[in-house]
């Protein structure tokens, strides 16, 4: 096995461990939110399995993502402290309501944020977009520091990887230092954000976005060269062809395919047992990526509404948007038979109606936002409609190369 193949296998194992930890954390939250009392022994059992999964995850972090070793250590320390508290309960005792609330309101959001930080370490290309979303969320909402801390922790992996990618760039190092100082402060705060808190965070987010743009425009990335087995592989890696990827991202979840000529993908609502095959681990009513009748991927972080009756037009078709790679660009159109609205823009604040006769072309280095009708974080309550982000990226080695 060559080093490229081994690196890909390590990355796959890393994500398997990450998904296991996420699933166990969700199970712990579900238990804590169940009605009535919860036995401390049940909480301890689930927390122990979560701790074991994080220890397994730490092996890959120490090998490949050394800059995030501290995140794993911090998470394990917090879990260990809580396991010591739970050890003081007898098997039949119920968890104190105050400790249950503290776990739900403070600890679990922090743990989710740390997992998001680790998950994002291999990709930081969406950092500008996520900073824009967080700015809007802070500007609009009546938020508490616990949620802000979770959001910032989720960004940390991206900042660390950005700093490592541009390790010789003074702008990148100053940017990360500013972010880390703000994160450290957020971890000590509690309660609701005051107006001055919101103003200060919005100002910092604006500053960070401009700093990221400076780094991408004026600094050179450190490209990782992975030697192969055959003679001259390093030189081929240095001079070799760039790989073009078509990437889809929504609600922090990302999926990429190689952008080969005439490749045609469909985006729509996942309908298991109906027109789509049943895929283990995929949630019905998620957003799917379809190719030639095969479901390539299902985004479980969003839900798609269905069953609309006029005049309601806020539902998602099983086949809603078509994306086809043509001559180095991606053409985006309404799928055949789709009539419910889709809006698009090349910036979060830009929204234009995608008409049936339209074709929108996405070039490398740009990002396209698609607001597909019916796609929400919570479709039942129609809260937070989220855009699907498309990008064409050129990669050499393990670093994304942004066209200037």
Tell me the C-alpha distance between 80 and 78, whole Å. Answer: 5
What is the Cα–Cα distance from 339 to 356, expressed in whole angstroms?
Answer: 8
Q: What tens-digit pLDDT sequence spans the chain (404 residues)?
A: 333 334 445 555 666 677 778 788 888 888 998 888 888 988 988 898 888 888 888 877 776 655 567 778 888 888 999 999 998 998 889 999 999 888 988 888 888 877 876 765 555 556 776 787 788 888 776 788 888 888 888 888 788 878 877 888 888 889 999 999 998 888 888 888 888 988 889 889 888 988 887 777 677 766 443 333 333 333 333 444 456 789 898 887 888 888 888 889 999 999 887 678 888 778 888 999 999 888 999 998 889 998 888 888 899 999 999 999 887 789 999 998 899 999 999 888 788 999 888 889 998 878 899 999 999 987 777 767 889 999 887 664 444 444 33
pLDDT at site 398: 46
Q: What is the model's pLDDT at position 119?
A: 67
The predicted structure's pLDDT at residue 289: 94
CB under 8 Å to 317, separation ≥6 — which residues?
Answer: 268, 269, 335, 337, 338, 339, 340
Is residue 305 within 8 A of residue 316, CB to CB? The reply is yes
Burial class (CB in 10 A: 0-12, 13-18, 19+), 403: exposed
CA dihedral 89, 95, 97, 98 (to 10 degrees): 50
Residues sharing a CB contact under 8 Å with residue 330, sequence separation 6 or more, in sequence order: 246, 259, 323, 324, 361, 362, 368, 390, 392
CB–CB of 326/262 below 8 Å?
yes
Per-residue model confidence (pLDDT) at position 316? 94
The pLDDT of residue 122 is: 52
Q: Could you please report the per-residue DSSP string of 305-322?
A: -----TT------SS-EE
> Alpha-carbon torsion 325, 331, 337, 340, what sign?
positive
Q: Record the tokens describing residue 265, joined without a space.
A: 């993908």
Burial class (CB within 10 angstroms; exposed 0-12, middle 13-18, buried 19+) of 214: middle
Residue 3 CA from chain centroid, whole number? 27
**With b meaning 16 or more CB within 10 Å and e meaning fewer, what string describes 8-17?**
eeeeeebeeb
Q: What is the sign of the dihedral through the CA atoms of 357, 298, 303 and 285?
A: positive
Long-range contacts of 29-34 (CB under 8 A, 24+ apart): 29/104, 29/108, 32/95, 32/100, 32/103, 32/104, 32/108, 33/104
pTM of this prediction?
0.45
pLDDT score recorded for residue 121: 57
């Amino acid at each position: 096995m060559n080093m490229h193949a081994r690196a890909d296998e390590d990355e796959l194992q890393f994500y398997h461990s990450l998904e296991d930890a996420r699933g166990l954390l969700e199970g712990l939250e579900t238990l804590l939110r169940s009605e009535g009392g919860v036995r401390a022994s049940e909480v301890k059992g689930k927390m122990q399995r979560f701790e074991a999964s994080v220890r397994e995850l730490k092996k890959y972090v120490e090998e490949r993502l050394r800059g995030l070793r501290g995140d794993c250590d911090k998470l394990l320390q917090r879990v260990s402290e809580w396991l010591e508290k739970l050890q003081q309960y007898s098997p039949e005792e119920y968890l104190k309501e105050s400790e249950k609330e503290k776990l739900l309101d403070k600890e679990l959001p922090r743990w989710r944020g740390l997992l998001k930080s680790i998950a994002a370490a291999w990709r930081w290309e969406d950092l500008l977009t996520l900073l824009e979303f967080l700015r809007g969320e802070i500007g609009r909402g009546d938020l508490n520091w616990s949620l802000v801390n979770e959001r910032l922790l989720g960004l940390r992996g991206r900042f660390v990887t950005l700093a490592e990618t541009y390790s010789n760039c003074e702008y990148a190092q100053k940017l990360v230092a500013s972010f880390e100082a703000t994160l450290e402060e957020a971890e000590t705060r509690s309660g609701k954000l005051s107006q001055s808190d919101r103003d200060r965070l919005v100002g910092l987010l604006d500053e960070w976005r401009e700093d990221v743009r400076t780094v991408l425009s004026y600094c050179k990335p450190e490209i990782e060269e992975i030697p192969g087995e055959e003679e001259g592989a390093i030189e081929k890696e240095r001079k070799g062809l760039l790989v073009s990827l078509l990437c889809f991202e929504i609600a922090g979840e990302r999926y990429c395919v190689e952008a080969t000529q005439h490749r045609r993908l469909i985006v729509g609502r996942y309908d298991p047992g109906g027109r789509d095959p049943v895929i283990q681990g995929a949630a019905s009513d998620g957003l799917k990526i379809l190719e030639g009748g095969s479901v390539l991927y299902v985004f479980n972080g969003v839900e798609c509404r269905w069953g609309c009756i006029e005049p309601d037009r806020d539902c998602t078709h099983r086949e809603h948007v078509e994306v086809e790679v043509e001559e180095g660009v991606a053409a985006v159109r309404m799928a055949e038979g789709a009539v419910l609205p889709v809006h698009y823009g090349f910036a979060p604040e830009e929204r234009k109606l995608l008409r049936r006769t339209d074709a929108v072309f996405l070039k490398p280095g740009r990002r396209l936002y698609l607001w597909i009708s019916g796609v929400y974080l919570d479709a039942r309550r129609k809260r937070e409609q989220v855009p699907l982000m498309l990008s064409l990226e050129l990669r050499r080695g393990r670093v994304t190369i942004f066209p200037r």
